[in-house]
Amino acid sequence: MLWRIFHRYASTTMTNRSKSFTYPQRINRSPTAILESLNTCVQTDGGNPSYLFMDDPFLIPTSAHEKRQLSLSKASGKKAARWIMDRYSYAFFYDVAVPSIPSYFPNYTFDEKEFIEPDETTLYKLMNWNKIIKAYEIYKKCLDYKINISDTCKYALFDLLCIYNSDNPMEILPPEEDWYRRELNETNQSGLVQRTWKDNGLAEQMFEELKLTATSEQKIRLYNSFASGLFKYNHAEKAMIIIDEMKQNNISIDLITYNYLLRSTSLIKETYDTRWQFMIEYLNEMKQNSIQPNLRTFNSIFYTLRRCSLYERGPILALSLLNEMRQCGIEPSLGTWAHIIMIFYPNDQIGYDTQILPQIMDELEKQYELNGKQFQWRDIDDREFFFNIMFKATVNCRDVDLAKRIHRFQMTGSNSRFIPDGFKEQMYYTNMFRLLFRFDIPEHVIPLWESVVPNIYSPSINIIEDFIEFISTWNIKDYYVRLWSDLILLGFIDNKQNNRRIIERYLALLINNDQENLSNEQIKQYANIARQILKRFPLTSDEDEQQIDDQQQQQQQQQKREVNEEQQQTKQLKQFQSKFQYSGQLLSNLIYLLTRADDFDASWSLYEYYFLNKNILINQLNEISLMSLLKLSINQNRIDYALNIVEKINEFNYECLSDALDLLNRHENLDHKDRQRLRTIQKNSSLESAHLVKLV
């Protein structure tokens, strides 16, 4: 029975099967297509640290200083590994990778014979390994030895000299170090354009040599490369001389040179109108020569308009350029929108009513969906978009909903990679949270804060102070204790430069809270925070520190008679090392929190520490802390301590002296000697309110 069913099924399938088979067309994909597909499935998660910082949970950095230290340490380790590979190159030629990865091998080591007997092959090797200056030396040696060098090799070397300004290219930084390149490498952070072209350099020398023998086709490449190099390194005057020479000799200008020319217009013309007319002339020239503009062409024009900061026609011209760009079938990049934003908002006071930012976000969200929910790097200016739009949304527009919309878009997919360095990321989040702290409500701000801090964003001390002020304004009691944990996690408590400033602000937050309505659990938690501060920064007077140092020196002399240089350096560092400096205000807050939890011993030790070191401490103990300590002393029947506190209140001439006298006067366990001492305090007081208290 089963055999019949199987035979019947097999016969029907064979008869219905098509006799021809069409193979699907091959889809050409990049080597990283699978990784790119997987990447689209992953969202930026603020709950986990960056892949760079993945480590043992105890070692994961949370503060900005720790992240920077770990990143630069990894970069230093990579450089050390590269040095080992180059130093002992013979040990690193076993290749197990398929396909082979050239960057994992030592750099090519040139043999001296290659320099003694140069040829074109050596030149190409040197150029491939970015030894441009050495390649030029070998080129000159080939000319001296009358060794034939092809024109292709000559012009390739000339192009590299123009691109790298007659020098070897800068070393590519590791990604970890590149993130901090603004503070590590950039010498010109003011944004001013500086001329960096090397006059009479190797590029100019080779240009004069090749110009004598170049054909008409070679002159096109020669002049365009030279002019592009001059524009790139901001020598616009000489570049325009080359452009005029090209026009006189009927040498055509290519698209790359036009792009550099349009981007350098602000260096050539001074007034805004003449800059625009200058660009129009060269755009018409491109049209006459049938040169089709590309994305870089339009971004160069937008960049020049952006540098015309107060040009009245700027926004109108920008919109007309945008329409022209679309008619040419060129899709705007993120860099295009970044320039348009700066054209509409040239400073902090202009552009509030334009409402261009929401329209840009609408356009980008549509473009993002049409592009398969991803953006590609299309122009070097794309890295400015998120920084610019968040800055203008928060400073100019002050639009909370728009700022959160921008942030959601930035966290979507891989869009966060368009924030190129640590400085721009810091400013991006700083501007966003400053706006939210001023105009938004805690139900919206706190979840957003927790989603990015500390794994994505490590706030600065100014933002932490704004956050403390935000919590104080909205009286978010449930976050008070957690805020202390955040301060420790972010490294502000261990930061010797700013820890006292942050601790004072935080304790003021706890003190200014509604103390009468606190639960016993909250009072204990606040007191535990005060004890943690004292544990981290023990109370030691100058005399105690001197005794401790003397004892340590005696022990060291007994153990070692000869002190080496390393110990001397350690001693010098200890002398210059800054210690935590308490103040009267800080001690007052600690005393108040501890007295609320009935911790008399700890409170009294702070009280004694102040009067032992009052000559070097800033501020006095305030009235609230003294009265709180006085009440605790009376409740625990410590009359001598209470009288001492009242004497100090009188010494400080505080208005609360009358309340202190009345409070202690109503105590039943005062003997005759104590009451006599109380009358003496009242008699010596200069306050009228103190004399109105009727003592028993």
Residue type at position 237: E
Instruction: Give burial (CB, 10 Å; 0-12/13-18/19+) of 282.
Output: middle
Q: Are 491 and 62 in contact (CB under 8 A)?
A: yes
Does residue 543 carry a pLDDT above 60? no
**At 347, is the pLDDT very low, low, confident or very high (cuts 50, 70, 90)?**
confident
**CA-based nearest residue to 166, from 129, 207, 194:** 207
Query: Residue 40 gets which letter from DSSP?
Result: H
Q: How far apart are CA 158 and CA 210, in angstroms?
A: 9
Decide which of 636, 656, 681 is a domain's last residue.
Answer: 636
Q: Are 160 and 126 in contact (CB under 8 A)?
A: no
Q: How far apart are CA 484 and CA 247, in angstroms?
A: 70
The predicted pLDDT at position 557 comes to: 59
By three-state DSSP, how is residue 23 classified?
coil
Place of tokens 């805004």: 272
Does residue 485 carry a pLDDT above 60? yes
pLDDT of 136-177, one tens digit each? 999 999 998 888 999 999 999 999 999 999 999 988 888 888
Does residue 352 carry a pLDDT above 70? no
- Residues 479, 530, single domain; the answer is yes
**At 34, is the pLDDT very low, low, confident or very high (cuts 50, 70, 90)?**
confident
The predicted pLDDT at position 138 comes to: 92
What range defines the domain where residue 620 resides? 474-540+581-636
Q: How far apart are CA 557 and CA 412, in angstroms?
A: 63
With respect to residue 680, please indicate whether it lies within any of the assigned structural domains. yes
- Residues 496, 631, single domain; the answer is yes
CA atoms within 13 A on the CB side of 574: 12
Furthest-apart CA pair in the chain: how many Å?
Answer: 123
- Residues 533, 631, single domain; the answer is yes
Per-residue three-class SS string for 110-172: CCHHHHHCCCHHHHHHHHHCCCHHHHHHHHHHHHHCCCCCCHHHHHHHHHHHHHCCCCCCCCC
Mean pLDDT of 642-666: 92
- Give phi and psi for 212, each to the nearest 5: -75, -30
With respect to residue 646, please indicate whether it lies within any of the assigned structural domains. yes
**At 188, is the pLDDT very low, low, confident or very high (cuts 50, 70, 90)?**
very low
**CA-based nearest residue to 430, from 464, 474, 396, 405:** 464
The predicted pLDDT at position 575 comes to: 42
Mean pLDDT of 87-112: 81
Does residue 1 carry a pLDDT above 80? no
pLDDT of 53-63, one tens digit each? 887 778 889 88
Compute the CA torsion angle 606, 612, 617, 622 (nearest 10 deg). Answer: 50
Instruction: Give burial (CB, 10 Å; 0-12/13-18/19+) of 664.
Output: buried
Q: Give the other-Cβ count within 10 Å of 214's Cβ.
A: 18
Mean pLDDT of 463-475: 94
Q: Give the other-Cβ count within 10 Å of 136's Cβ.
A: 22
Mean pLDDT of 65-92: 90
Does residue 433 carry a pLDDT above 60? yes
Q: Are 130 and 197 in contact (CB under 8 A)?
A: no
Which has more pLDDT, 490 or 103? 490
Mean pLDDT of 325-330: 93
Cα–Cα separations (whole angstroms), residue 178 to 95, 182, 552 = 28, 8, 45
The predicted pLDDT at position 275 comes to: 95
With respect to residue 46, please indicate whether it lies within any of the assigned structural domains. no
Collect all residues with Cβ–Cβ distance below 8 Å to 102 and sequence separation of at least 6: none
- Residues 522, 585, single domain; the answer is yes
Q: How far apart are CA 212 and CA 157, in angstroms?
A: 17
- Residues 478, 527, single domain; the answer is yes
Q: What is the count of structural domains for the chain?
A: 2
With respect to residue 596, please indicate whether it lies within any of the assigned structural domains. yes
Cα–Cα separations (whole angstroms), residue 538 to 484, 485, 581, 582 = 18, 20, 10, 10
Does residue 287 carry a pLDDT above 50? yes
With respect to residue 152, please indicate whether it lies within any of the assigned structural domains. no
Does residue 564 carry a pLDDT above 90? no
**At 572, is the pLDDT very low, low, confident or very high (cuts 50, 70, 90)?**
very low
Q: Are 450 and 456 in contact (CB under 8 A)?
A: no
Does residue 542 carry a pLDDT above 90? no
- Residues 529, 647, single domain; the answer is no
With respect to residue 129, please indicate whether it lies within any of the assigned structural domains. no
Does residue 327 carry a pLDDT above 90? yes
Does residue 83 carry a pLDDT above 80? yes
Decide which of 636, 657, 675 is a domain's last residue.
Answer: 636
The predicted pLDDT at position 351 comes to: 65
Q: Would you give the end-to-end CA distance of the chain in angstroms?
A: 119
% of residues, the chain, pLDDT over 90: 58
Cα–Cα separations (whole angstroms), residue 487 to 61, 239, 468, 491 = 14, 55, 10, 6
The predicted pLDDT at position 247 comes to: 94
Prior bond to 31 cis, omega within 30? no
- Give phi and psi for 352, each to the nearest 5: -65, -40
Residue type at position 214: A
- Residues 532, 644, single domain; the answer is no
**CA-based nearest residue to 103, from 124, 78, 125, 122:** 78
- Residues 632, 645, single domain; the answer is no
Range among 109-123, 183-197, 449-463, 661-675 with highest mean pLDDT value: 449-463
- Residues 531, 604, single domain; the answer is yes
Q: At what angle do helices 623-635 and 657-665 cross, to 10 degrees?
A: 0
Helices and strands in the chain: count of H runs, count of E runs: 36, 0
- Residues 593, 668, single domain; the answer is no
Compute the CA torsion angle 149, 154, 156, 162 (nearest 10 deg). Answer: 160
With respect to residue 687, please indicate whether it lies within any of the assigned structural domains. yes
Prior bond to 99 cis, omega within 30? yes
- Residues 486, 612, single domain; the answer is yes
- pTM score, two decimals? 0.86
Q: At what angle do helices 151-163 and 216-232 cross, to 10 degrees?
A: 20
With respect to residue 176, please indicate whether it lies within any of the assigned structural domains. no
- Residues 646, 603, single domain; the answer is no
